[in-house]
Structure 1
Amino acid sequence: MRRIYPAARQAGVRLDASWRMAVTDAGAVAGPADLSPALDWIPAPVPGTAAEALRLAGRYRAEAPSPLHDKDIWYLTEVRCEAPGDAVLVLDGLATIAEVYWNGALVLRSDSMFRAHEVAVEAGTENTLAICFRALYPRLDAKGPRARWRPQLALHQGLRLVRTTLLGHMPGWCPEVHAVGPWRPVHLIENKEYYLEVERFSAILAEDGSGRLEIVLKDSGFPPETRLKCAGSSAVFGKDPDGRRVAHLTIPDVAPWWPHTHGTPTLHEVTIEAAGTVVSLGRTGFRRIEVDRGSDGRGFGLRVNGVGVFCRGAVWTSADIVRLPGDRDAYRPWLALAAEAGMNMLRIGGTMAYESPAFFELCDDLGILVWQDFQFANYDYPVADEAFAASVREEARQLLERTQANPSLAVLCGGSEIYQQGAMLGLPESRWKGPLTEDLLPSVCAELRPDVSYVPNAPCDGAMPFSPNEGVAHYYGVGAYRRPLEDARRAEVRFAAECLAFANVPQQATLDAHLAAMPGHDPRWKQRVPRDRGVGWDFEDVRDHYVRLLHGVEPAELRYGDPARYLDFGRAAGCAVMEACFAEWRRAASTCRGALVWTFQDLLPGAGWGVVDATGEPKPVWYALKRAFRPVQVSLTDEGTNGLSVHVLNETASDRPVVLTLACLRDGSVPVVSGRREMMLAARSNAEIAATDLFGAFFDTTYAYRFGPPAHDVTVARLLDPDTGAVLAEAFHFLPGCEAGRLPPALDATVDRDLDGAWTLTLKTDRLARSVHVFDPAFRPADDWFHLAPGADKRVRLVRRAGADLEAVPQGEIAAINGAGVLRYKAG
């Protein structure tokens, strides 16, 4: 749907107050005239869902959801207008089979959750608006075109015939919370002549560094001298042969928009001025995105403004599975955490739902690229049906029209695992590669967002569409398939649109507050652990495999005898796997150009896939990713008989002087061999250095030659600021099996305030402390579950938690997984 902007005055009314909702049996009420005042009416937020209204009334819990798709749900409100006359009712999203009644007359039937509607109505001064959401289950039983395959993803095969979210229909993935209701805003527009409609909004960065802005308006009767203004430049609107108003504006040397890891996400205000009236079209950014297929033409990566960008982040699920919000306040804390973790891309997968313009605007602000799947996943969709195809085409057009101004939109994808599903069932390519993703969707994308790269499906390309060594992959070699960590390199991943799924354990405070259940023993615990349908394992089994591999302990025995320590080892293993895989993928010689972790946030508190739990608290693996995603970074990889390699990266636009140090420690404390080098990290550089080059002599850093017992157990690499000595980045390499006899570390902690008044926790140790955890009820640490080595202080900024007492001072506990107890601290 085209964006409509208020001009001379605000003439639209957002209908978000005084709604009532009632639940009835399916088909029990034919129309609004049959609604009884005796029905159990409850207040209902709009935009919102029936589940949210019921939750606010104390009648619904996401932890034990009641089905809603077997019922009809009625929404009702009274609308007062300034004066009688023609008006337009705008409904931005109705989930899913909806009938809209204006003053008792049926004015709209909608069968797509993903389409907005404009309906002309005759408004009186007092009006009644009723919306009935008919039961979805009977619709799912309707017969449709025969499917060529039947996936196990969701409960009902009829979902392929209905345009609705798969959230709530995927057991093992998410709670069965059904999306029903006016989940996007409802407006009434009176006096539409006071509005202008933007039909096209294009902002690109040309190769010469200039910004090219094109705006096409539906002719609104504005005078001839109507001007477009942006970034200090302006142009006069002309008319095209179709009578539309068109302006082309070139802005020399415009400040470009960058992902925040590579530069500043600069945005520019766009305005239209005519006869003393100024209309803001919001902000936009100028950037250029190109697909990089690599030297062999088989890869996939993005170049932004001519610079190769390693895309890292996660797959977005929902800000709230119950209410499916679309406002800035709902998105802001989640997206702020993504940016803080160094994520420069989020993917909205085909199993989720389209997010609102506010999501993209915040991503614009924060410098986060968005990979947007169209909402298709796994099924064989009936695109040969003309009505279905027409609805999908309009769905795609509306998504792209409302995001035309957003520079954050970087990739458009035909959906998730359609190709993979057909290919894994043994069907030939001609059966699973079809016009939906090869013709219909790319044609709409080429028309409305030619500046955005298009991918037919995720995954795609390769000998099989799911082969990770070509094109776009869903990589679970390390993860679900329990491959050794070396597989992250051996698989030659080019771009992982999703990867590394684990049942990530939340912080203990979240479990204490929201899930008082014993891990592994309590059905309530297992209910929150994700699993694929039809398999005899879950993703906790996957995590336990890597606990066993990395720490040499038996998870089942540990869980039986010491559940708290079992969870800590699970947290530590998840961190180690994440950091190790991204160290492989970000090195200079890697074939990988991006990887997005499955998933960003949980939908319920528990050991879900998310790296942030459902309460908004970062999990331990979030901190690991924050370390792995640093734009200025050091990492270590085990190259066997070639020894350790040190990788130093600088993705920023400026050269960076650093000091690189490397030390091999025995018993986690005594340096056996060490090296140091002053370096200038060139802008946009990625280099590999052999550890022996820093030592100046041979040393068996990987214990590959095994000449006698190992002389060390851990290697520590640091990048230091040459002026202050501050640690910019650290990396650790542990020799397998060398931690058993290590003495516990003696930790020391002090709390002080920096020059800006922020609290900082300073830690030091006499020997290596593994997986150090900081817990403070009033403050969240900027880093957590990190390794701490002697030789340099660790300064951790403490961020006051939302809702914490403003007078509270830091006081909490510090523990290490190889420690002998808990260290308590308190600000003096």
Structure 2
Amino acid sequence: MVRRIDLDQGWEFKQASSLENGTATSYLPVAQFPTVAHIDLLHHKLIPDPYIDINELKCLWVNDADWTYRTQSIGPVDLAPSRRAVLVFEGLDTIVDVYLNDRHILFSKNMHISHQIDVTEALRDRKEPSSLELRFRSAPAYARSERDRIGYKRNATGRAVNYGGSERLFLRKAQYQWGWDWGPAVNTCGPWKPVYLEVYESRVSDLSVIQDVAADLSSVTVSVKGGVENAEGLDKIIVQLTDRDTTTPVAKQELAISSTGSFEGKISLDKPKLWYPFTYGKQDLYLVEAIIPGHTRSQNLGVRRVRILQHPLKSQPGTSFIFEINNIRVFCGGSCWIPADFMLPRVTAERYEKWLTLAKSGNQSMIRVWGGGIVESDAFYDICDREGILVWQDFLFACGNYPASADFVANVKVEAEHHIKRVGHHPSLVVWCGNNEDYMCADEDRCWDVDWSDTTGPWDNTTFPAREIYERTLPAVVADSGTEVPYWTSSPYGGESANDPTVGDTHCWDVWHGKMSPYQDFKTYTSRFISEFGFESAPSLRTLHRAITSPSERHAQSRTFDVHDKGPGHQRRYPMYMGENYRFRMNPLKDFVYCTQFLQAEAMAYAYNCWRREFRGPGEENCAGVLVWQLNDIWPGTTWALVDVDLNPKPAFYITKRALEKAVVGMERVITAKPHYIVTGYPPEKGQVDVWAVNGELGERKVLLELKAFDIKSGNSVELQGVQAKQECVLKANQTTELLAGLDIPNYNNTVVVAYLDDLASGERLARWVSWPEPLKYLQLSPELKVTSKVVDGGCAVILNANRPVKGVVLQTSAEGPDDVVFDNNFVDLVPGEEIKIGVSGLKNESIQMRFLYDWELVPGFQL
């Protein structure tokens, strides 16, 4: 029998360096275990919260200190002569020497790997308690010494790293802890994952399960291999496959254990239950168990066939980039994931549950785990397996020119092998990607001389030595594992340059960053798979009030507000983008929050509207994926997140939710005339509109398309000429269907056009879209505009209506009220004669507040 003894009691910590600040110079009890120094210092009120106000600066010293953790509460362990004791460290952050009873047993310089140390003889026959001491050194200081030792290969000019110092590249530690453009610099230190003893006579020490699904999905061959420690007297191991839904064993086999303790075999299963992303089917799972007397090792298996398709396109240059799951070509809509906290031990399974189920409620079928963070907790992937969310997993390199010395590469190899063994079996995981943006940075010629024609190397004497990691080490590790999950060299990657829109994936940052192109230009940046793009906005007013404690600093031009927006140049970008598109207000803060969130939502609407349209069917998958940067926030700041750190969805979250529904109707106004050449300052005329629909079902769908139009100021109905108000349409399966082209809009500068899509058989409203003339800054509202809300169904829903067209209606509760009120839809446009019903949960006695574009102009006494 294997016995696990968690070593989570009696831990204490102290500062082991001399920074002349007198903080925690003698041992203090830890706040929790696992832990890191920031958590414990916060617990003892020895530092202020680095997430609040400008406290980040007051906490920087913690990053540079040395810290010691110890426990003297490891009780005696009863070890019979045939039993072993192994000390397991699941994760140590980061530079650490480990002592057991004052004897050195481990040195580690990689946060991302686990360690198992045989301590049998150290504990056998010991009658008194044992002590365990973890002596952590400053990671930044060690990283700088590694940079000096290995050498930083780059040209004399320019920079070869984004964010933090270049020393971060030389240490296998979560890169975001040096600070990024969405969060502060909180460089943690400590035993960040569990520490425990495993005591056993024999144990299944390793289990690898690889699946090979028949091309027609009719069968699967499951290859199982692993190892047994102390296998003396054991010649067989039982491998069993169980249907998790019915708990019924579906296959069972005895495998021989070799003289070295290894075992290997195959199990075939006909007509297996398949695992699908939630957008296309169920998430059936099997349990694979490897059983010896006294110990069972197990893992989930989701049977699915995964491929990345890159074939020529009918009408576009380059090739497709499509995830095919179980022979279904999947449009991957979703977002990118950053770590949920700097103080990682605070992230519970319950918090992962909230984040990921929220993403699923927003119809997000793929999450990209970004390479500047961590390979996430087992709980993260378990939830994705259960919920049917696909995972794109970066290896842990981001935005920098990494070294490739022999010892560094060897460390990376061990790390990659560890990750693939730990999480590679999850059916949700559908791609391993070498890094985030390293090839894109090289193409931008910051200070890297890269000869892309040299595909064989060696590259150790070039200014991009890490090609050895991305083009040799990592793909070899993935291949050697036998996994069916494909490897992709980088994100972005493909074509003549890393960010080639015709091949592979792209990161679209010429909107917001780079050229600061208008968000209306997203269409011109269409690529085969947009794995990163975004637009900044403020978090909720409630979250900002928590972040900024001084009322006098709660405005958009305060020092504290600026500190909580790490995005470079945000002070210029907001006024420019808002000024181009609509009349905006910087103050009061609640109006600035609304205006920035409105801006982000409109940008998301443009992007998804044009990009999902390009999933046009076989051979015309001109765009097969759109992943927003980013889903989540790590602190109460202004970032690109769709949901702020307190789990408050922004309007952009609801835009993406509607854009990723099974059925979507879309509209685009098209240019019908340009201004006379002799005059300037006039926008082109957009007097017509195209209409299309997306069907995410695997079969054709019969629908009813209804079109209406309204004068913005009067609210009167406007007749559309040359088209039936209602018409039956057949939507093709799993693709876009064009419905109308070049429909004339009467008095187009003052008219909104509304498209409704209803199921023909049931009459169910599937989708709607309201097309407005732009720029919105030219709109003039009627002083008679009235927007009303009414709580119905016992507080479970709100009905909205308006007597004139109105843009961007947001429902909310007060900043001082409870934060558990959740709306299932938000940020909607209204037209006369309709009622929009929005579900709500958690609403008790709170009053509903409502915002919409230019609502401040209807306040008596307001003047432009």
Alignment of 1:304-315 (within 5 A): 304-315=325-336
Instruction: Give yes or no for the alignment of 1:606 onto 2:642.
Output: no
Q: CA deviation at 1:636?
A: 1.4
- Structure 1 unaligned runs (5+)? 1-7, 29-35, 693-698, 704-708, 802-807, 824-828
Change (3 A) 1:666 1:622: same
Q: Quote the residue 1:645 is aligned against.
A: 690
Tell me what 1:574 maps to.
600
Q: Tell me how far 1:822 sits from its aligned partner.
A: 10
The verdict on how the C-alpha distance between 1:607 and 1:131 changes in structure 2, with shifts beyond 3 A counting, is: same
Deviation per residue, 1:559-579 (Å, 9 max, x gap): 26x554333222212111101
**1:62 maps to 2:41:** no
Choose 385-394 or 435-444, whichever is displaced more: 385-394
Instruction: Tell me the CA shift for residue 100 of structure 1.
Output: 0.9
Residue in structure 2 matched with residue 735 of structure 1 by the alignment:
773
**Equivalent residues of 1:51, 1:323 under 8 A apart:** no
Show the counterpart of 2:90: 92
Cα distance between partner residues in 1 of 2:395 and 2:510: 26
Aligned residue runs from structure 1 range 488-637, under 5 A: 488-500=522-534, 502-515=535-548, 516=551, 517-532=553-568, 537-538=569-570, 540-551=571-582, 553=583, 555=584, 558-559=585-586, 563-587=589-613, 588-589=615-616, 591-637=622-668
Structure 1 304/688 Cα, relative in aligned 2: closer, same or farther at 3 Å?
A: same
Distance 1:26 1:289, change over 3 A: farther
Match of 2:149 in 1: 144
- Map residues 413-452 of structure 1 onto 2, 5 A cutoff: 413-425=433-445, 427-430=449-452, 431=462, 432=464, 434-448=467-481, 450-452=483-485
394 and 724 in structure 1: CA distance in 2 versus 1, 3 angstrom threshold: same
Q: Give the AA of the match of 1:800.
A: G
Quick one: which of 250, 255, 264 aligns to 1:233? Answer: 250
SS at match of 1:616: coil
2:682 corresponds in structure 1 to none
Q: For residue 715 of structure 1, what is the aligned residue in structure 2?
A: 753
* Distance in 2 between residues matched to 1:300 and 1:612, nearest whole Å: 28
Native 8 Å contact 1:154 1:166 kept in 2: no
Deviation at 1:449, TM superposition (A): 5.2
Where structure 2 has 5 or more consecutive residues not aligned to the other structure, the ranges are 244-248, 453-461, 673-686, 860-864
1:826 corresponds to which residue? none
Distance 1:447 1:71, change over 3 A: same
- What is the aligned partner in structure 2 of residue 783 from structure 1? 825
- Aligned equivalent of 1:404, options 410, 421, 424: 424
Following superposition, the deviation at residue 594 of structure 1 comes to 1.2
Q: Deviation digits for residues 103-152 of structure 1, max 9, x if unmatched? A: 11110000111111111112235211111111223313321333333424
Once residues 205 and 270 of structure 1 are traced to their aligned partners in structure 2, the CA distance between those partners, rounded to angstroms, is 16
Q: Does 1:18 align with 2:10?
A: yes
**Aligned 8 A contact 1:263 1:652 in 2:** no
Q: Structure 1 residue 665 and structure 2 residue 710: aligned? A: yes
TM-score, normalisation: structure 2: 0.84
Q: Tell me the equivalent position of 2:246.
A: none
Residue 171 (structure 1) shift: 5.2
- 2:279 maps to which residue? 261
Q: Which residue of 1 aligns with 2:787?
A: 747
Matching of residues 42-121 of structure 1 within 5 Å? 42-60=29-47, 61-63=49-51, 64-65=55-56, 66=59, 67-77=61-71, 78-84=73-79, 86-121=84-119
- Render the CA deviation track for 1:188-213: whole Å, top value 9, x for unaligned: 111151x3133311235322322332
Contact 1:21 1:76 in 2 (8 A): yes
Inter-CA distance 547–185: structure 2 relative to 1 (3 Å threshold): same
Tell me the CA shift for residue 72 of structure 1.
1.3
Return 177-186 or 435-444, whichever deviates more: 177-186
1:404–1:449 contact (8 Å) kept in structure 2:
no
Alignment match, 1:5: none
Deviation at 1:225, TM superposition (A): 7.2
The one of 316, 319, 337 aligned to 1:316: 337
Superposition CA RMSD, Å: 2.9
- 1:189 matches 2:198: yes
Look up the match of 1:3: none
Counterpart amino acid of residue 421 in structure 2: E
CA-CA distance at 1:586 after TM superposition: 0.5
**Deviation of the 1:294 alpha carbon:** 3.5
Check the 8 A contact 2:556/2:589 in 1, yes or no.
no
Match of 2:310 among 293, 298, 312: 293
Call closer, same or farther: CA 1:225–1:439 in 2, change over 3 Å. Answer: closer
Q: Among 383, 392, 406, which residue is 1:386 paired with?
A: 406
Contact 1:203 1:285 in 2 (8 A): no
- Residue 41 of structure 1 aligns with which residue? 28
Q: Which residue number corresponds to residue 734 of structure 2?
A: 684
**In structure 1, how many angstroms separate the alpha carbons of the residues matched to 2:473 and 2:784?**
62
Structure 1 residues 154 and 484, CA gap change in structure 2 (3 angstroms): closer
TM-score, reference length from structure 1: 0.87
Alpha-carbon distance in 1 for matches of 2:137, 2:169: 18
Q: Distance in 1 between matches of 2:270 and 2:785?
A: 59
| Corresponding residue to 2:810 among 769, 773, 778 | 773
Are 2:14 and 2:25, in contact at CA under 8 Å, matched by a contact in 1? no
Report the 3-state secondary structure (helix = DSSP H, G, I; strand = E; otherwise coil) of the residue aligned with 1:736.
coil
Q: Is the 8 A contact 2:66 2:138 kept in 1?
A: yes
Aligned length: 773
1:217 partnered with 2:226: yes
